[in-house]
Amino acid sequence: MIEVEEHTLGNGLRLVMAPDLTTPVTSVNLWYGVGSRNEAPGRTGFAHLFEHMMFQGSAHVPRNGHFQLIEEVGGSANATTWFDRTNYFETVPSHHLDLALWLESDRMGWMLPAMNGEKLENQRQVVMNERKERYDNQPYGDWDERIQALLFPETHPYHHSVIGTLEDIAAATLDDVRDFFSTYYLPNNAVLSICGDFDPDRARDRVEHYFGAIQPGPDPPPIPGIDQIPFSTGATLREDVPGAVPLPRVYAAARVPPFTTDLFYPGDVVAHCLGTGRTSRLYDRLVRRRLAKSASCHLLPLTSGASLFMVIATGFPDTDVNDLETAVTQELDNAVTLTEEAVERAVTGAETRMLRALQQVATRADLLSMYATHFGDAARLNDDLGRLRQVTLDEVRSWSRNHLNPGNRALVRYIPERSS
């Protein structure tokens, strides 16, 4: 049970605090309610490129000063961009909490004066290299792009990948940076979580001191496109990718109820039953029987209309991709036969794993920001394990029947090209 205190500043910034004096370490975590879903046509990848620009200095912080100042005091810092949000975080020795707050407030309030074309050009190159390293020069690297394009219609904000296309990254301008900042990087579109070793009264005062003067703005515009879509693709959609991959691999995805609905929880239990641990269905029936080298299952906590449920299975060099596909789809079809025993074991394992993750203040802060952003209630983190416990076998089976059938499926198959 994590004790959580929540406040909202006059400018709309939501503050979440969870003190824990075990180790003299404090984590500061900011979620901005903007991600790849908010990108305009022709600007895919921009939310992520913008995240890079946030490390290029602000009015009172020199270029690269953010990392330098944090590393000098023995802290760590980073940021990530995802579908629905962008997060920024620092974990520091606790007596340097003010430094982290000062740095985050400076770029929330005073980023634009430090921007220029040269910095944008530099980070454009860095991000294009990131895309090439992680997507284009990497076996299977572009799988998420393919799955998203297949599973979500062109009008849906999840149709395109977070990294974006090289063309769109290259097209970004300094005006885009300014507009994006003014539209989304607002105190009223952000959650600030502080976890670890600190005094909450003092921290609240310091947050008010550093962030209080930042002006709020209008609510961000609606997400482009149409996010409400049926949890069904209508058929099994497929794409085969022949190429320079060493092993056949199948990505099988389904469009399912989002994180913000009660129907997410049976899905989470199903994902654990299928893919987590050595007793899971996929391990037991695919890996143990040597139909696959490895297999896993994931349900992403996405919120915009629908979420993404996915199985990833990798074969052996001599595995026929059709056999691999059959093995995977059979387990999706057979999820309706999951047992009470499997559900019990999956929930027990999920509880212990969640506690393990919460040992790290950075993870705790990030999860609190997530619940505050998506539910307006950070303390919901405490209830969520209970929600998994309450899921019944009937719910698990009917969720599987409704969402994991062949009428709601996208398959991307990577097929090794045999050199003759």
- Binders of another protein among residues 275 to 304 (CB under 8 A) are 277-279, 284, 287-288, 290, 293-294
Q: What is the footprint of another protein within residues 347-376 (CB under 8 A)? A: 348-349, 351-353, 355-356, 358-361
Q: What is the footprint of another protein within residues 39-78 (CB under 8 A)? A: 59-60, 63-64, 67-69, 71-77
Contact status: 385 vs another protein (CB under 8 A)? no
Contact status: 138 vs another protein (CB under 8 A)? yes
Cβ of residue 140: shortest distance to another protein, in angstroms?
10
Contact status: 95 vs another protein (CB under 8 A)? yes
Cβ of residue 1: shortest distance to another protein, in angstroms?
10
Nearer to another protein by Cβ, of 47 and 229: the residue is 47
Contact status: 417 vs another protein (CB under 8 A)? no
Contact status: 114 vs another protein (CB under 8 A)? no
Nearer to another protein by Cβ, of 67 and 375: the residue is 67
Cβ of residue 204: shortest distance to another protein, in angstroms?
15
Which of 3, 133, 167, 323 forms a contact with another protein (CB under 8 A)? 133
Nearer to another protein by Cβ, of 99 and 177: the residue is 99
Which of 40, 170, 213, 235 forms a contact with another protein (CB under 8 A)? 213
Among 62, 311, 110, 287, smallest CA distance to 214 is for 110
Nearer to another protein by Cβ, of 183 and 334: the residue is 334
The site map against another protein for 225-254 (x = CB under 8 A) is -------------------xxxx-------
Q: Please work out the total of residues on this chain that contact another protein, with binding judged by CB under 8 A.
A: 82
Contact status: 126 vs another protein (CB under 8 A)? yes
Contact status: 124 vs another protein (CB under 8 A)? yes
